[in-house]
Amino acid sequence: ESFEREYGYKIIQNEGTSFEIPNYRKDNTGKMYKINMEINNKCYCKNNIIIDNSQVIDTYKEKERYLLIDYFIIDLKEKKVFVYDQTLNKDSFLVGVMDIKKIEITKLSNSKLVRLIKNRGEDVLIEIDDDNQIIGYVNNNSHFIGSKFLANNKKLRYLIMNNVEHVGVCFLYSNENLEEISMQRLAFADNFFLRMNNSLRRLYLPALEHVRHGFLNNDRVLEYLYVPKLISADDEFLEKNEELEVFDAPCLHNIGSNSLVNNNKLTTINTPLLRVLPRNFLKHNNSLREATFESAESLELGVFDDTKVLEVLNLPYLKEYPYNKIFKINAILRRLLEENVERNNMGLILKK
């Protein structure tokens, strides 16, 4: 009963069985701790507590000296940031928080602001919530971000890194809550950029040119995307997006398979330089009534598979498509492709 009053959970336990409470773990003495995250069987908790294989690590319990945020430890005396679990030391977040001159912590209404005053460059700002989880990050010093940047963070809500031009693999891979991002100079995003995020509704990346596999793969709610310089996107680009109504990519030459597969709201698409309509591109779209692909020469299986409303499809340079299988799948698409063949009056390679 006391546990229920303290933490708001009602525990029901059958005789002979153990119980688990979400986001709580026991140490080897049976004491319960609320955890922020668990990585590699190590639990990171509020109040600088780390539980490693049920063993409480109290090395960093001195709050005047240490501050545990996510899975990073800030040493306020030595002015450095490091990780307890050395398998996480490749997280490129660490590179951006080196060379610290002074650390200031300011209490806000529902959070704290950690200001890292650098020996050179602008201050780095880290906002943390009441559980000491990172919810905001501002760093305009970096130009290149390596791999696994905050790859295990889930709570970040806003990010400002306006001088970064390149980010490595698994950038904010596990994050689910990011709502605001400002990366004005970002030109290249490697594999799994924001792969698990499902909160971002608007994305403005005016300098982006190339993205690799799994770009915003799980974001279903993105409504606005500004990528005027995007040239290439690998497989699973916005694969599960459901809300985008306009896709404007005037410089896009190549896009990978399974891109925009689940979108059923797209009504406008502008990709005048796209050469191949890849496998399953816009597979489940049933809102687009007219589409022109001025440069497309090839169409692969799965494109517009479920369309029932497409009325106009212009493919002036179409040279090949999987003839037999498309003819069996969708009568509307078959008719539109036949119209293009007749209109183009050119030799067509029919993929068997």
pLDDT in tens, 69-85: 999 999 999 999 999 99
100: helix, strand or coil: strand
Q: What's the pLDDT at 350?
A: 44
Q: What's the pLDDT at 334?
A: 77
Measured distance CA(320)–CA(326) in Å, rounded: 12
Q: Where is average pLDDT lowest: 15-19, 106-110, 252-256?
A: 15-19
Per the CB < 8 A criterion, the answer to whether 201 and 180 are in contact is no
pLDDT in tens, 285-305: 889 999 999 999 998 888 888
Strand partners, 203: 225
Q: Is residue 192 very low, low, confident or very high in pLDDT (cuts 50, 70, 90)?
A: very high
Look at residue 11 and tell me whether its pLDDT is greater than 60. no
Q: Exposed, middle or buried, 4 (CB in 10 Å: 0-12/13-18/19+)? A: exposed
- Section 188-207 average pLDDT: 96
Q: Where is average pLDDT lowest: 56-60, 79-83, 251-255, 314-318?
A: 314-318
Look at residue 186 and tell me whether its pLDDT is greater than 70. yes
Q: What's the pLDDT at 325?
A: 60
Q: What's the pLDDT at 296?
A: 94
Q: What's the pLDDT at 230?
A: 98
Q: Is residue 348 very low, low, confident or very high in pLDDT (cuts 50, 70, 90)?
A: very low
Classify the C-alpha dihedral 125-133-222-228 as positive or negative: positive
Kindly list the strands in the beta sheet with 276-277, ordered across the sheet, starting from the edge strand earlier in the chain: 276-277, 298-299, 320-321, 349-350
236: helix, strand or coil: coil
Look at residue 340 and tell me whether its pLDDT is greater than 70. yes
For residue 331, CA distances in Å to 281, 303, 311 come to 18, 13, 12
- Secondary structure (H, E, C), 151-220: CCCCCCCEEECCCCCEECCCCCCCCCCCCEEECCCCCEECCCCCCCCCCCCEEECCCCCEECCCCCCCCC
* Helix, strand, coil percentages, rounded to 5, for the chain: 10, 30, 60
pLDDT in tens, 110-142: 999 999 999 999 999 999 999 999 999 999 999
Q: What's the pLDDT at 327?
A: 52
Measured distance CA(34)–CA(13) in Å, rounded: 19
Please report how many Cα atoms fall inside a 13 Å half-sphere around the Cα of residue 187, on the Cβ side.
4
Q: What's the pLDDT at 333?
A: 78
- What whole-number percentage of the chain has pLDDT above 90? 74
pTM of the model: 0.89
Q: Is residue 347 very low, low, confident or very high in pLDDT (cuts 50, 70, 90)?
A: very low
